[in-house]
Chains A and B, each alone.
Chain A
Amino acid sequence: MSEHSDNPQAGNLPTVDADAAAIRKRLEGRTGRDYWRSLDEIAETPGFEDFLHREFPRQASEWNDGDGDGRRDFLKLMGASLALAGLGACTRQPTEYMMPYVTQPEDVYPGKPLFFASAITQGGYATGVLVESNDGRPTKIEGNPQHPASLGSTDAFTQGSVLNVYDPDRSQTINFLGEIRSYSSFLTGFKDIVAEQIGKQGAGLRILTETVTSPTVDAQMKDLLTQYPSAKWIQWDPIGIGRREGTKLAFGSYANPVYKFDAADVVLALDADFFISGPGAVRYSRDFMSKRRIREGSGSMNRLYVVECTPSSTGAKADHRWPLKPSEVEPFARELAAAIGGSAVAGGTWSTRPWFVSLVKDLQAHRGTGIVIAGENQSAEVHALAFAINESLENLGKTVVFTEPVEASPDNQLARLKELCSDLDSGTVDVLMILGGNPVFNAPADLDFAKKMQKARLRIRLGMHDDETSQYCQWQIPQAHELEMWGDARAFDGTVTLLQPLIVPLYGGKSPSELLAALTETPEKTGYDALRDYWQKQHTGTDFEAWWRRSVHDGMVADSALPAKSMSGAKTPTASSRQPVGPDTFEVSFYPDPYIYDGRYANNGWLQELPRPMTKLTWDNAALMSIATAERLKLWSEARVELKHGDKTVWASVWVQPGQPDETIAVHMGFGRTRSGRAGNGAGFNAYQIWTSDSTTYASGVSLRDLHQKYSIAATQHHYLIDREHGPHKDAAHQAFPADADFETAEASLRGIVRSVPLEEFQKNPNAVAELGEQPPKGLTIYPDVWKYKGYAWAMAIDLTACTGCNACVAACQAENNIAVVGKKQVLNTREMHWIRVDRYWEGSVENPTAHFQPVPCMHCENAPCEVVCPVAATVHDQEGLNTMVYNRCVGTRYCSNNCPYKVRRFNFFLYSDYVTETTKLQKNPDVSVRSRGVMEKCTYCTQRIQYAKIMSEREERRIIDGEIVTACEAACPTQAIVFGDQNDPNSRVTKWKKTDLNYGMLADLNTRPRTTYLAEIRNPNPEISALEKKS
């Protein structure tokens, strides 16, 4: 890189000879608002004093010179300067030499990304990742193929988390009461407090963290607690309370259940969305779907039953799904436990139903190969019941395996938080340190945490943002992002996963471990030292260095998964008593949002704009209610209502949701942030406001009041349920399908777009899928096939059976391809920019419809309709069958999009790409153009990755190996539903997939010859229940 040398005139500007240490020292000595102009000023160097004197460096002194000649000289100089000023343009600039690396650092080639193993955690649980680093900037996250929680795949959160590093609204400075301070001044001030607490044995010290699985942090905490025996450590995460307490309730001690979906033939989910939420969701999705492949020699499938309180991805993939009210889940589980145990429940609600009998029979027929799993947010009772059922089905140890808890110090978080609140109330808390989390936002509303925490004398906050909690803390210390720090965490099975920094903390952020060091005798101990010291103690052999390097390189400690532990004797808990509820009230169930989780990703534009799997909402949550309930209340989607739970109220917007049980409402948490930043503030409503400590799973007796206001909600796919006027029953053009939840689906299946066939039918008739649509013969074209695609012929196949609609592919595509976030207003006008979308179709009755997912990237048609209509040849075919888009050539007629039957093209109606925010520029993939206003864009099959592989293979004089090119969507997909490759290679995966009887092309009857094809969805309904359903 060349350094532009300064103008020679600048020679008498003061040189920076002040040493940095001196500057820092001086700065730390100051308090309050103190402005300074340059480093020299602070350092008070003589050079700067001199500079001040000569404001106009050379000439000013001339003017001031005592003798009369000075003024004349000044005028002469001025005149000459003016005369010569123009000549400057003619001067040859001094020659400057670029400085290449004399010795290039190992493995660093400009333009070639490096990958480092690290981890992203959620609720404390780690997913191992490989982070792509371009010239020192982390730009994209891929799964770590060796890591058990990932196996190479990721979820949408992980994809989105790289954007959080560059969030322009991150907390950027250490603040004390709004004033910028240095970390050392924090430490200086903190010394006295530490001394005081040591004296009191830490009686006034409280440390509030998120759930900790990190062995290092746990060890640090335990050291601290020995040093300050009266101090208390509280962990708080609003999600997963029931999951944690379930094992305690069932077995009397905390344990960690690990589900072996790859060994299960029958799965029953009790309001469990295990594809999307909970530890190990990515791994579970993959394992589950590995039992659902009827190709490559496998002809059998597992079967999934789901009972749930709101439609979820898991419910959508279920072979049988039944909606239950939140209050019915526990009785249902209880009755099921009894039925499986062989004892009937008197007056049971479900036992008499034929489908229940069939379900019990099916579970009993698969002893040891079944799983009953309860949802993350379900109560501890339901979890305990699920364990009891698993035990009587002999699943424990086979498909449901227990280990020691992954959480380092599992605890009843809610009880501990309440205890903290009462300590705060009693005034015994001197120092409250809040490391991460956001308790003011996400603590139960009845605890009134915001008010209580202010009773602590000193409140210190380590947070990524100056958020809801930070505003009540005197000290706000920027927290390092996980890609900026050293650390460790355990995965769902206990595997120790190492976090290594990809970039120096952008804003000097500290990791929790570094802040905890402030309480010790070595307050400036780095996170790296803490981590390494801890592991040095664990791995004492002489081979530590090699072992350490290996572990950091792999991103995890080999064979560190916790060993299985035999557990038995799950107790069936007594029925929990809920208050009877008044008439005209609703049960409201609470869920973490599928993309912004508990609210921590609220300021992440990618995740805000990612359409929720079932509702397709972006930028908002909603009070989901069934059509019947909405009609009874004379409400419809986008109506603003007020929900009242006890004395707590919150406004909410209604969204009519097929499959939602009647007279219930489901809300997702994490929205309604007020201090999250530009993207998250004001998006949605804050469901935590009616979330109380006695109703963490669901609230009953919630009343609803119509505010008679409209609140627009941006959904990417909604059109016929949202609009009362043109709703499914009202649209006169579609009287033919009055019974269908959605005539979209009716049309989509009529057109053979989305194809779903039951396993039995497919086994009887291998042509079942092909018969659902037409496929014109290859010769049927008036243009001869001139181009034969003799080299590579890129193609993709998408397995609809495996797609869970999780949208990880969409998030991955957005990260890889520099796709702009457009905001709610633009989504309202259907201008979202996603290159791949996941379509969701409802089928069947509105009360309990089946949902189908279909990811739709560009089809790369061989006969592409878009290409012929472009007047300037901006979209053209390449020799390998890619339908390419030449942004620079595009004039923006949008004709290609009009003529695209799949509507996968996206147009920059405005300047959507952010050319302003400096930090987010660092995230951009240098191999992909950032599109400007007025051009069309679309999926390229990750052409940059294809090119990279081609260059590599050409250098080595070989053909590209199957699997060498992995598109971003394919890489991210947790269920491996997407495969990309060369269809000229008879042994490639994509060729094999396309050869199956399941393969079909979307709208292939148009003779577009799509290169992206689908494997039809196969479901495995229980024939007994299907027969029952048919009868009714």
Chain B
Amino acid sequence: MAKITPYPDEKTLEIAPVIAPDATLASVTDKIGGIVLRRGTTLGWILGFAFFFLMLQLLGIGVTYLLFKGTGIWGLNIPIGWGFAIVNFVWWIGIGHAGTLISAILLLLNQSWRNSINRFAEAMTIFAVCCAGMFPIIHMGRSWIAYWLFPYPNTMAIWPQFRSPLAWDVFAVSTYFTISLVFWYVGLIPDFASLRDSAKNKWQRILFACLCLGWRGSAFHWARYEKASLLLAGLSTPLVLSVHSVISFDFSISILPGWHTTIFPPYFVAGAVYDGFAMVLTLMIPVRKFYGLEGFITERHINNMAKVMLATGLIVAYGYGMEAFFSLVYANDHLEKFTMQNRMFGPYGFTYWLLIATNIAIPQLLWIYKIRNNLVYLWLISMVINVGMWLERFVIVITSLTRDFVPSSWGTYWPTLWDWVIYLGTIGLFMTLIFLFIRVLPMITMFELRVIAPKKTVKEPVA
């Protein structure tokens, strides 16, 4: 009988540490706080910011023209009532899932390695939800009365129609945004206090003093802070699962073959986490490099995130497999079967196979240790997953609508210039906010790193 080995610990596996061995309390604050408090900005930041800020202008132009002319500027038609706007909406919301997952679920699971990435991921969540939240509003024919979706007392004495998943979306997304924002802000308070203390500039001191809400670092403060974090984490955890489940109801509640699928909620959540982690990696790998944060965001983080991606990617693959199995083999429903055949082999068949390649086939390379630990490959794979998850939404939204029940009304959808302009514009918005965030807020939680800095237990860093 083989000897039962205890669960391997970090020492025996020679895993990279969660923080560089030479990090001290002071070096954490200096290094991370320094990025914010330093005078002057690097040329790289200015160029990057300028590029994405220009891209953001596309959004302004696109939305202005949209409101001026109408949703007809997009490639939408009858039967394809939803196009890029909804695809992008679901995609951005998905991206927003990593932040909450990292900060809430991993906090509850006591995964201390999350500490150096949660702030960034949370910021990313908020920015992604900003981008996402815009789409349901601008995709409406009459955006100026979008507030009718909120239950507010009015002279018409009419409520939203609560049976509609779109009414649920309003609550799901707005709750998610609010909780994420509060969670993020609460997490920032001790760091604002650190910045207040180390800022040399008067205005920065005043600003951070206001933002830190009088944090003095007393034991009471810390005790309440811990309690608040835990409560918020507890609140956010169900949200991680609920938001994308609700978004998936937009599709699964409908009767459209290809949308009307009970598997959607878990499959959407897994996809969202998958995509969220891919986006964190996409952004973090360069940021880590440019700001020399290898000591705080170590290969351990990178590796862990790659593993989460691989795991969620497998759940997504399972989802695809089950969807195909149910439709083609199990359900014995002609419409379901037809829709799946059409998705695979119809006019948009190439998007389906591209989806399989980008979301399932290529990410399997992450099984290989060397690829997982090679930053260039990993970055490329995470980009591929970002594209793949966008394609997934495209395939679901568009191909199901193109050929539904009545063959006479089948149609095609091709995005117009304005579809792309607005999509790129939201990427511009997202990246502009990310750049500003990097410059004006501590992108890594300083106080949490200070907590783990003395605890580092690893023998030697991996070369």
The size bracket of the interface on A is 35 or more
B82: which of A841, A898, A935 is its contact (CB, 8 Å)? A898
Question: Is residue B146 within 8 Å, beta carbon to beta carbon, of the partner chain?
Answer: yes
Most chain B beta carbons < 10 A, residue from A723, A744, A837, A911:
A744
Question: Is residue B242 within 8 Å, beta carbon to beta carbon, of the partner chain?
Answer: no
Contacts of B164 in A (CB 8 A): 868-871, 895
Pick from A369-377, A410-418, A685-693, A745-753 the stretch touching chain B.
A745-753
Q: Is the CB of B346 within 8 A of A901?
A: no
Pick from B30-38, B319-327, B404-412 the stretch touching chain A.
B404-412
Contacts of B149 in A (CB 8 A): 871-872, 891
Question: Is residue A717 within 8 Å, beta carbon to beta carbon, of the partner chain?
Answer: yes
Q: Is the CB of A901 within 8 A of B406?
A: yes
Contacts of A753 in B (CB 8 A): 405-407
Question: Is residue A905 within 8 Å, beta carbon to beta carbon, of the partner chain?
Answer: yes
Q: Is the CB of B254 within 8 A of A899?
A: yes
- From 296 to 348 in chain B, residues with beta carbon under 8 angstroms from any chain A beta carbon are 334-335, 338, 341-342, 344-347
CA distance A910 to B72 in the complex (A): 5
CA distance A893 to B148 in the complex (A): 12
Q: Mark A727-753, 1 if CB is under 8 A from B, else 0.
A: 000011100000000011101101101
Contacts of A895 in B (CB 8 A): 81-82, 164, 166, 250, 254
Q: Is the CB of B342 within 8 A of A748?
A: no
Tell me whether A719 and B411 are in contact in the complex, defined as CB-CB below 8 angstroms, given that A893-B140, A899-B255, A901-B405 are known contacts.
yes
Main secondary structure of the interface of A (DSSP, over half): loop
CA distance A659 to B163 in the complex (A): 48
CA distance A868 to B75 in the complex (A): 26
Q: Is the CB of B334 within 8 A of A750?
A: yes
Q: Is the CB of A901 within 8 A of B72?
A: no
Q: Is the CB of B78 within 8 A of A907?
A: yes
Contacts of A903 in B (CB 8 A): 78-79, 404-406, 409
Contacts of A829 in B (CB 8 A): 75, 77
Tell me whether A933 and B409 are in contact in the complex, defined as CB-CB below 8 angstroms, given that A830-B78, A869-B164, A897-B81 are known contacts.
no
CA distance A856 to B136 in the complex (A): 30
- From 884 to 928 in chain A, residues with beta carbon under 8 angstroms from any chain B beta carbon are 889-895, 897-899, 901-903, 905-911
Contacts of B79 in A (CB 8 A): 830, 897-898, 903
> Shortest Cβ distance from A872 into chain B, in angstroms?
5
CA distance A829 to B345 in the complex (A): 23
Question: Is residue B145 within 8 Å, beta carbon to beta carbon, of the partner chain?
Answer: yes
A726 to chain B: closest residue by CB: B347
Tell me whether A898 and B401 are in contact in the complex, defined as CB-CB below 8 angstroms, given that A830-B78, A905-B78 are known contacts.
yes
Contacts of B289 in A (CB 8 A): none
Question: Is residue B253 within 8 Å, beta carbon to beta carbon, of the partner chain?
Answer: yes
Contacts of A871 in B (CB 8 A): 149, 160-161, 164, 166-167, 170
Contacts of B141 in A (CB 8 A): 890-894, 907-909, 933-936
- From 72 to 121 in chain B, residues with beta carbon under 8 angstroms from any chain A beta carbon are 72, 75-79, 81-82
B166: which of A890, A893, A907, A934 is its contact (CB, 8 Å)? A893
Q: Mark B242-271, 1 if CB is under 8 A from A, else 0.
A: 000000001001111000000000000000
Question: Is residue A839 within 8 Å, beta carbon to beta carbon, of the partner chain?
Answer: yes
CA distance A908 to B141 in the complex (A): 8
Contacts of A934 in B (CB 8 A): 70-71, 140-142
> Shortest Cβ distance from A263 into chain B, in angstroms?
36
CA distance A907 to B139 in the complex (A): 13
Tell me whether A841 and B148 are in contact in the complex, defined as CB-CB below 8 angstroms, given that A871-B166, A892-B141, A893-B166 are known contacts.
no
Contacts of B148 in A (CB 8 A): 872, 889, 891
Contacts of A733 in B (CB 8 A): 338, 341-342, 344-346, 349
Question: Is residue B158 within 8 Å, beta carbon to beta carbon, of the partner chain?
Answer: yes
Question: Is residue B165 within 8 Å, beta carbon to beta carbon, of the partner chain?
Answer: yes
Question: Is residue A581 within 8 Å, beta carbon to beta carbon, of the partner chain?
Answer: no
CA distance A725 to B348 in the complex (A): 12
Contacts of B344 in A (CB 8 A): 733
Question: Is residue B69 within 8 Å, beta carbon to beta carbon, of the partner chain?
Answer: yes
B251 to chain A: closest residue by CB: A898
> Shortest Cβ distance from A839 into chain B, in angstroms?
4
Contacts of B334 in A (CB 8 A): 750-751
A873 to chain B: closest residue by CB: B161
> Shortest Cβ distance from A935 into chain B, in angstroms?
6
A751: which of B69, B75, B140, B405 is its contact (CB, 8 Å)? B405
A909 to chain B: closest residue by CB: B72
Q: Is the CB of B146 within 8 A of A1006?
A: no
Contacts of A865 in B (CB 8 A): 254-255
Q: Is the CB of B338 within 8 A of A872?
A: no
CA distance A733 to B69 in the complex (A): 38
A830: which of B77, B170, B254, B407 is its contact (CB, 8 Å)? B77
22 contacts between A and B (CB under 8 A): A744-B407, A747-B407, A751-B335, A826-B72, A829-B75, A830-B79, A839-B406, A869-B165, A870-B164, A889-B148, A891-B142, A891-B145, A891-B149, A893-B166, A895-B81, A895-B166, A898-B401, A903-B406, A906-B78, A909-B77, A909-B141, A933-B141
In the complex, besides A830-B79, A935-B141, 9 extra interface pairs with C-beta distance below 8 angstroms are A726-B346, A745-B407, A748-B406, A751-B335, A753-B407, A868-B253, A871-B161, A898-B79, A909-B71
**9 shortest A-B CB distances, which residue pairs?**
A892-B141, A934-B141, A909-B72, A894-B81, A839-B408, A903-B409, A871-B166, A744-B407, A873-B161
Residues of B within 8 A of A (CB): 69-72, 75-79, 81-82, 136, 139-142, 145-146, 148-149, 158-161, 163-167, 170, 250, 253-256, 334-335, 338, 341-342, 344-347, 349, 401, 404-412
